[in-house]
Structure formats: structure tokens, C-alpha cells
Amino acid sequence: MSAALEVERHYSIASVATILDVSTDFVYARIADGGLKKVVELGSGQAKQRISASTLQAYLDSRTYGTQTASPPLAEPGGAVE
């Protein structure tokens, strides 16, 4: 009996831009400056880059200030929470 492979959710650059309500240029700039530290390359070209939910959450946590110690889970575009 084999165990099922569990794969973390990964987002396209356009999806990350939608989630953050920013431009794709902003997301590419965060990749370039190291703000988004881990990017999965699925092939050649920027269209094949993906960002994991945990990398996106780490970015949001690093940019969060105030009394809140942890961010709520990311919501899918359209409102569903994973």
C-alpha cells in the first residue's frame, strides 16, 4: 500500500498579485529583491514560476506589525480558505 503524496499549494505570479492586490511587476520585484525567498521554477521563463503558500505566508508575516503575532490562513482568490 503506498502513501498519497501531499503537495503544498503553489500560486502563479498572477495569483499572488491578485491575493496581495498588487501588480505582477510588484511580485517580480519582491522575487528579485529577496522578499519572496523561495520560487519554484517549473520551466524556462517567468510564466512557469510558482510561489508556495508557506513562502507567501512568510512574506506576509515579515511585513506584519502591531500586536498580531500570526496571520490568518491565506484565502484562495474567490474567498475559499485552505
Is the pLDDT assigned to residue 14 strictly greater than 70?
yes
Separation between Cα atoms, residue 82 and residue 78, nearest integer Å: 12
Q: Is residue 68 assigned to a domain?
A: no
Q: Is residue 50 assigned to a domain?
A: yes
Expressed as residue numbers, the domain containing 57 is: 10-62
Q: What is the pLDDT of residue 4?
A: 81
Its pTM stands at 0.70
Q: Is residue 67 assigned to a domain?
A: no
Residue 6: how many CA atoms within 13 Å on its side-chain side? Answer: 1
Q: Is residue 76 assigned to a domain?
A: no
Separation between Cα atoms, residue 65 and residue 20, nearest integer Å: 16
Number of folded domains in the chain?
1
Query: For 19-38, how does the pLDDT look when each residue is reduced to its tens digit (9 = 90+)?
Result: 999 999 999 999 999 999 89
Separation between Cα atoms, residue 12 and residue 28, nearest integer Å: 11
Q: Is residue 71 assigned to a domain?
A: no
**Cα-Cα-Cα-Cα dihedral sign, residues 29, 48, 77, 7:** negative
